[in-house]
Amino acid sequence: MQTSYTLKELPEIAVKIIKNSKHKTLLFHGEMGSGKTTLIKEIIKQLGYDGNVSSPTFSIVNEYFANEKDLMYHFDFYRIEDEEEALAIGIEDYFNKNAWCFIEWPKNVENLLPLDSVEIHIEIINEQTRKLEIL
């Protein structure tokens, strides 16, 4: 799937991603400021979480629980310097749960990622528009 969107269209894009994802591990690729965190926040909201969603830049992972059934983990591996750090936080345990895993900067832990992941690439078109490609 490939499309472009604006912030106004974010809710419907999030719903499309949820419905079209063959797996619950989503890998978000894009340069700094491309909107990875903004899109993940909207996906978490569309999955039913109504609390505050924040970036896990310093905590590395945030956990959310919605509708008494959907467990979600939001990872930000931007600050990870080697895969040993990810192993130390128990990354494998997170992946072995039947939970949604939203991962920013997946290249920093690429050897640890599940093979059955969905790749999401975000590209900045202009200040208001992003190009989205799901592989």
- 107-131 pLDDT per residue, tens: 999 999 999 999 999 999 999 999 9
Which domains does the chain carry?
Answer: 13-99+106-129 (3.40.50.300)
Burial 1-32 (b: 16+ CB within 10 A, else e): eeeebeeeebeebbebbeeebeebbbbbbbee
Residue 34 is predicted with a pLDDT of 97
Pair of tokens at residue 75: 């990872």
pTM listed for this prediction: 0.95
Statement: residue 28 has pLDDT above 80:
yes
pLDDT tens digits for range 46-101: 999 999 998 898 889 999 998 777 899 999 999 998 999 999 999 999 999 989 99
Q: Pairing relation of β-strands 129-134 and 2-6?
A: antiparallel
Angle, alpha carbons 85-49-3 (nearest 5°) = 80
